Structure 1
């Protein structure tokens, strides 16, 4: 024990030394170590299989690379027309490299957010005697937030675009000696990074509002507020147009709305209903909720996320902020003649940027994972808010907030690593591929399969989340008639999740040498009896003799035939409204996998039956 304790102490000392930002070498090593750590964590989590990936992240990249904007019609539902550039790197990696390699690179890139958060903390703590230790520790605390952890190693893009946003913040923060340095290059570069982040993912727009207001309040020295904002906006606009402009122009030319189908109430593109935004269920309901929103969504995480992301840091930061604001107002009331002085302009910048960006997010989006940039900076602000009043408690409050997120760690879905990241069994056809139209029926995310099916197919969505207009229905029917071939529908197939769970447990037990080789199942029987598993043990032949496997008892197994028939009948009812008929008896089940997870689908003949 003494030798082990000594080794742990030495290792801790070495790591602590690297996380002391007192020399450039340590900074570089710490940033690389954190990136590699998050790459390894991404590997441990498994293959990304979140809803958005299955719906549009793979499809949008594939469609953009293969010029399918007018070939398909809303194959990935409403999300088919989101800017696709952010999805291209992962698609390229996932279709050329091994799936774990792509997952590791994605997680490591997300780990670069640590460098951005640490750089911001370094600048804000410029005059603090212990900033070389505090900056990396507070950055690590930010990288342990609920939103950041939930998106680690996945394709949603919130963590990925946080990297350029944090870099832009760092460039804009006022710094010592800025009266001698020319701030123009920094502002322009910050604008370029900000515009690229918004162009890649429009949900970063609230940060543009926050940065503009913060620059107006705390501009670099030797430069007027207006000039600084104009330079920032000019760089951001130019970058945005380069990154997203060609895509929006193509969508405008094709459909008559660059943001199609969102905000169609103004553009009136004929193929979509005149909606404003796609999803308005998030966010506070009324001013009373808005004023207490950080407290409300901390108590009830479902108000801001489909998947609960436990956290308490926003409630803590909100209460500390209110307390400090009340104290400042009281002091101002007692001494009305003393002008407010901001001793630390970099901190002042954040104190404008964070609340303005938060309010913009709350009013426009309200989905928690879009708040990841502010979450990365929240521990820094919380520590700064508590330290002057409760110097000993500050670190423990931050640590407690981090612990809540770590203990409640939740993700958007991962699968076990498979031989390939994605695989889809190609169905049998009656006619040529070039004349085949395939309808993805229902709201389930199925467009991820499109890149692995024949490229000659034309894909459309029916009865999905796309706000279809009568012209949309007419276009779908027109496509089917003009192509002149056979039409098919893809609908989900049932999966017995209990069987899949047993297979995962089997895999773990086999790796521990508990598969009961040579037909000896006693150990496994003893284990499931003690654990209370709803399972039975069966001997199955293998290449090296019999082995023992867990199985779901027959009475508990899902009737896949009946479930698939029910799914097909539901789809048949849905397509009737389009003047179509789905051949339920002709449906066939084909295999498809994301990593080690089976996501089979049904391939059903589809016919035009008359006017809708």
Structure 2
């Protein structure tokens, strides 16, 4: 009778415990970083969930979170709900643990791509490779934060894992087995796009990669088609309700984006696209990964270092040349390399990068690809016409390089408070008959959470709305409510934006009483000013043009 293999020789006995323990360790580590207080959390992540659950949007408030007021709030709801029942550390722990679960699909992808190793070595190498993927400078900077780029990555990486894990069915099996698999994979990515629209490059990359992998013309087309149908279904599932709300309320299902196309009367006919990070010119596009290595502010707001995508970029450029040279020399890919899964990962990574480059060029949106980049390197180098030892040594050297050079960025962090969001508001003399006016660019919408729930917030000026925009319906709605109100007005503003008292408030017939100001404090930001407003008896002047800070 053959002896049973030792317990630790079973891959599951190695992988499963590690994938339970490692996310827990990551969650504990995140508590040493402090509490998240990033700009987006203060501007819209917290407010949007609060407004959605209390039905404030447009009924009470008008654009308090600037453009982001109109983002799909679904992704923000879990943290908001958690924060109602858990202390701040508990919320951060759970969020970081979920982010740590990216190790699961990363390990799964590594397991497929390392098929040439024996089971025990394959299990250990897959987990080690997953860690090399996970510990990137961009991803670790987002640990415990509410940007969610490393949460929607679970959908993206899970989709890629499903495709390559079922490679036999996808590329060789009958359609009744292949097409449901790719539909579900598309559904996962579509869900990510529905929750956060900047995930779109991954849907493009993972879908069109099918057109470049083995199979007849119609096989490739049908795989891409069913994946695409899954993407559309996923988007409808997670954002259909919100797109319908925006269409029925603002006549633009993506409001305010692409308003130059939809022409909603609620905003100006502009695309509202953030294109300030896009490179211009052929040369700048070609060397872009190395531009942000020398100056990270070309792709975001903070300093960080990570070479995963730049190294992947070189590997991708070298791969077709080396494969072509190998064919000329009559060499085939090494035995044990899963060619179709490898090609799928390679092409999906390349297409995703190109789509991201043309659409956004904001590094945070590249976090799932940062995690995928070492896997792309392993897949590509595994196909190179080199001896096995040379390929293994090269992969190891590159993984060590990108790991030891990574330096996470730092978003706004602060000491943990008792609750995830704490706001202290001075007593209002008549909260049932009070309107709060916001101006400036500071992220102050989260402070609405601390005010009496019946108090409306009107943001008459921001990077989204300006009195100079004329009679758009958002401006008209606010002007009508201000003109009709006969109670108290208060002005919520950052101290560095009090210049708006002279340049914005007069457009609505309001004057700030700078002698009657108090402070609104919170655990996420410095104190904000809450000043009484009075009506002006003078004619309303035209607002002066402002300098963008």
After TM superposition, the score normalised by the length of structure 1 is: 0.79
Q: Which residue pairs with 1:192 in the alignment?
A: 187
Q: Which structure has the larger Rg over C-alpha atoms?
A: 1
SS at match of 1:75: coil
SS at match of 1:173: helix
Aligned with residue 61 of structure 1, among 49, 61, 71: 49
- Provide the rounded CA distance (Å) in 2 between the counterparts of 1:123 and 1:390: 17
1:480 paired with 2:410, answer no
SS at match of 2:426: coil
Alignment of 1:295-444 (within 5 A): 295-331=290-326, 334=328, 344-386=339-381, 388=386, 389=390, 391-405=392-406, 408-431=407-430, 433-444=431-442
SS at match of 2:492: strand
After superposition, the C-alpha distances for 1:446-483 in whole angstroms (9 at most, x for unaligned) are: 11111221111111213311144212333211122334
Q: CA deviation at 1:106?
A: 0.2
- Provide the rounded CA distance (Å) in 1 between the counterparts of 2:295 and 2:101: 30
Q: Which of structures 1 and 2 has the larger relative contact order (alpha carbons within 8 angstroms, sep 6+)?
A: 2
Aligned pairs, how many? 515
Contact 1:75 1:461 in 2 (8 A): yes
Q: Which residue pairs with 2:267 in the alignment?
A: 272
Aligned with residue 285 of structure 1, among 271, 280, 285: 280
SS at match of 2:515: helix
- Structure 2 runs not aligned, ≥5 long: 1-5, 543-549
- Provide the rounded CA distance (Å) in 2 between the counterparts of 1:61 and 1:220: 45
- Provide the rounded CA distance (Å) in 1 between the counterparts of 2:372 and 2:136: 10
- Provide the rounded CA distance (Å) in 1 between the counterparts of 2:160 and 2:215: 13
SS at match of 1:602: strand
Q: CA deviation at 1:176?
A: 5.8
Q: Which residue pairs with 2:26 in the alignment?
A: 38
Alignment of 1:18-167 (within 5 A): 22-71=10-59, 72-129=61-118, 130-167=121-158
- Provide the rounded CA distance (Å) in 2 between the counterparts of 1:22 and 1:577: 72
- Provide the rounded CA distance (Å) in 2 between the counterparts of 1:246 and 1:434: 32
- Provide the rounded CA distance (Å) in 2 between the counterparts of 1:56 and 1:216: 39
- Provide the rounded CA distance (Å) in 2 between the counterparts of 1:591 and 1:374: 38
Q: CA deviation at 1:569?
A: 4.8
Q: Which residue pairs with 2:526 in the alignment?
A: 599
- Provide the rounded CA distance (Å) in 2 between the counterparts of 1:126 and 1:271: 56
- Provide the rounded CA distance (Å) in 2 between the counterparts of 1:198 and 1:487: 40
- CA separation of 1:409 and 1:360: change in aligned 2, threshold 3 A: same
- Provide the rounded CA distance (Å) in 2 between the counterparts of 1:312 and 1:208: 24
- CA separation of 1:256 and 1:287: change in aligned 2, threshold 3 A: same
SS at match of 1:584: strand
After superposition, the C-alpha distances for 1:509-565 in whole angstroms (9 at most, x for unaligned) are: xxxxxxxxxxxxxxxxxxxxxxxxxxxxxxxxxxxxxxxxxxxxxxxxxxxxxxxxx
SS at match of 2:146: coil
Q: CA deviation at 1:230?
A: 2.3
- Provide the rounded CA distance (Å) in 2 between the counterparts of 1:234 and 1:312: 34
Contact 1:383 1:395 in 2 (8 A): no
Contact 1:149 1:411 in 2 (8 A): no
- CA separation of 1:177 and 1:324: change in aligned 2, threshold 3 A: closer
- CA separation of 1:303 and 1:21: change in aligned 2, threshold 3 A: farther
- Provide the rounded CA distance (Å) in 2 between the counterparts of 1:136 and 1:22: 14
SS at match of 1:442: coil
1:447 paired with 2:436, answer no
- Structure 1 runs not aligned, ≥5 long: 1-16, 494-565
- CA separation of 1:136 and 1:343: change in aligned 2, threshold 3 A: closer
Contact 1:295 1:314 in 2 (8 A): no
- Provide the rounded CA distance (Å) in 2 between the counterparts of 1:242 and 1:386: 38
After superposition, the C-alpha distances for 1:400-458 in whole angstroms (9 at most, x for unaligned) are: 211111xx222211110122222222223233x23322122210111111122111111
- Provide the rounded CA distance (Å) in 1 between the counterparts of 2:52 and 2:401: 45
- CA separation of 1:375 and 1:569: change in aligned 2, threshold 3 A: closer
Q: Which residue pairs with 2:161 in the alignment?
A: 170
Decide which moves more: 199-208 or 471-480.
471-480
- Provide the rounded CA distance (Å) in 2 between the counterparts of 1:303 and 1:358: 16
Q: CA deviation at 1:360?
A: 0.4
When the two chains are superposed, the root-mean-square deviation of aligned CA atoms in Å is 2.7
- CA separation of 1:25 and 1:335: change in aligned 2, threshold 3 A: closer
